[in-house]
Amino acid sequence: MRADHGVPYADGMTRVLFETLADERHVRLFAWSSLHSEDVGTSSQGLSELVDAIEAGIRLVLPDTDRPDRDRIEAAVLLALSATYGFALGKRSWLTGLGRDPADPAHDAAFRAALSSAIATYLAEGSAPR
């Protein structure tokens, strides 16, 4: 697989994350509950199911030689979650600090595009060379 094409679903994955995290209150509640939760097993199972679904989807569209392995998919999911949650939590102060308007949706779109590209490239690097 060529890195410029990436792996299907990287853009879809970040789109879903950004739609989920559009409400800053949701992100803050999730962060608070994650830090104070005693039952981490529930969210862990959901994350494993997400990776299962992504892996199954990749299997449907890519030949064996182009597929990233499970470890790489898991790392990409963790990267996407970490970056998306971090951006959602910090974008207001960070963009303001950069002299940007945090209410401008173009910043969300640009960050999501950059993250999708990075994830697709990372996943593509984990596939066998052609």
State pLDDT tens for residues 70-112. 999 899 989 988 888 888 889 999 999 999 999 999 998 899 8
pLDDT at 61: 78
Distance CA 31, CA 27 (A): 6
User: What pTM did the predictor assign?
Assistant: 0.74
pLDDT at 1: 36
Residue 4, class by beta-carbon neighbours within 10 Å (0-12 exposed, 13-18 middle, 19+ buried)? exposed
pLDDT at 106: 95
Distance CA 98, CA 65 (A): 43
pLDDT digits (tens, 9 = 90+) for 6-65: 445 667 767 777 777 667 777 777 777 777 766 655 556 678 888 888 888 888 877 777
Q: Does position 4 have pLDDT exceeding 70, yes or no?
A: no
